[in-house]
Amino acid sequence: MDPVTFSCAELSTRELNSALAGLPDGANVRILEPWGRHNIAVGLTTRITIAIEGNAGYFTGGLGDGPDVTVGGFVGWSTGENLMSGTIRVLGNASECTGASAHGGTIVVHGDASSRTAISLKGASVLVAGDVGHMSGFMAQAGVLLVGGNAGNGLGDSLYETVIYVAGSIASLGADARVEDLTDADVKTVRELVELAGFDHIDPENVTRVASARELYNFNALTEQRY
């Protein structure tokens, strides 16, 4: 299908997102002149392919349930926040809180991601080629965070079931996060994630696995009916 082209210079965010929501499955879209606009391609539930040609702002592709979004430049805070399914691929760097509370789907960052990457992750895969900032993986409950570069301070603080793989160094671990032995299953998982992301600099057998030490983990709703 020939691409449909929209310009942020001509449309309000609401007009743009309404137009995107009205496109059928399989549509291809180019979004021009994004100029750091917030909330581009938010809340879409169709299987469409979107190329944002430039830099985007906050919440890019957030709440998505189906679309594949590629951003040619960098993005602001909370890209893919609460993503349900689909893919968001950022060719540049991402700001803070990338993939916050994302339930499903895949978020790929080819550059670095800033602080609190994958905060409160609930099932998505967040794959970062470069470094992540402080407090990444904070309170992450499910899903996986892969870091191709180095991780900042407080990695995996108060982790639940999310597993974090780091190819580079870790500045410090957060409370209740610990380094665990890498199993064959981990290597297989990382190999699949690296392939999915299209990264070529990560050796799946040479990553560090970080998971919850379960000292603070206290989330069983049935235990003594305390909740």
Partner 1 sequence: MCGIVGLHLKSPQLHTRLGELIAPMLDCMSSRGPDSAGVALFDEGLPGRVRLSLHATDGTDWEVLGRAMADDTGASVSVEALGDVAILDVDTGPDRAAASLRRLGPSATLVGIGHNMEIFKDVGLSREIIARYGIDKRRGYQAVGHTRMATESAVTTEHSHPFAPAADIALVHNGSFSNPATVRRRLEREGIRFDTDNDSEVCARYVARQMEHGADLGEALRMVQKELDGFFTLLVATGSQFAVLRDSFACKPAVIAETDSYVAMSSEYHALAGLPGIEDANVFEPVPEEVYAWTR
DSSP of 51-118: EEES---TTTTTT-EEEEEEESS-B-TTTTTT--EEEEEESS-B-TTTTTT--SSEEEESS-B-TTTT
Q: Which stretch binds partner 1 (CB under 8 A): 16-24, 71-79, 140-148, 176-184?
A: 71-79
Task: Pick one of 20, 39, 57, 88: the residue that binds partner 1 (CB under 8 A).
Answer: 57
- Residue 130 makes contact with partner 1 by CB under 8 A: no
- Residue 62 sits in the site that holds partner 1 (CB under 8 A): no
Instruction: Identify which of residues 83 and 97 has a Cβ nearer to partner 1 in the complex.
Output: 97
Q: Name the minimum Å distance from CB 64 to partner 1.
A: 21
Q: Does 6 bind partner 1 (CB under 8 A)?
A: no
Our finding on whether 38 is near partner 1 (CB under 8 A) is yes
Verify binding: residue 72, partner 1, rule CB under 8 A.
Answer: no
Residue 14 in 3-state DSSP? Answer: helix
The single residue among 37, 110, 122, 209 that binds partner 1, judged by CB under 8 A, is 37
Bridge partner residues of 99 (DSSP): none
Residue 152 CA to chain centroid, in angstroms? 17
Q: What's the CA gap between 227 and 220, in Å, rounded?
A: 9
In the three-class reduction of DSSP (H, G, I as helix; E, B as strand; rest coil), residue 163 is classed as strand
DSSP string, 101-144: T--SSEEEESS-B-TTTTTT-EEEEEEESS-B-TTTTTT--EEE
**Which of residues 62, 133, 148, 149 is near partner 1 by CB under 8 A?**
133
* Residue 136 binding partner 1, by CB under 8 A: no
Q: Tell me: does residue 104 bind partner 1 (CB under 8 A).
A: no
User: Which one, 138 or 160, has the nearer CB to partner 1?
Assistant: 138
| Residue 35 in the binding site for partner 1 (CB under 8 A) | yes
Residue count, binding to partner 1 (CB under 8 A)? 17
Gyration radius of the chain's alpha carbons = 18
| Interaction of residue 101 with partner 1, rule CB under 8 A | no
Nearest to 60 by CA among 46, 84, 79: 79
Q: Is 29 exposed, middle or buried (0-12, 13-18, 19+ CB in 10 A)?
A: buried
Nearest distance in Å: CB 57, partner 1: 5
The region that residue 86 occupies, defined by phi over 0 for left and psi between -120 and 50 for alpha, beta otherwise, is: left
Pick the piece of the chain touching partner 1 (CB under 8 A) from 69-77, 102-110, 183-191, 210-218. 69-77
Site residues (CB under 8 A) for partner 1? 35-38, 55, 57-58, 74, 76-77, 93, 95-96, 114-115, 133-134
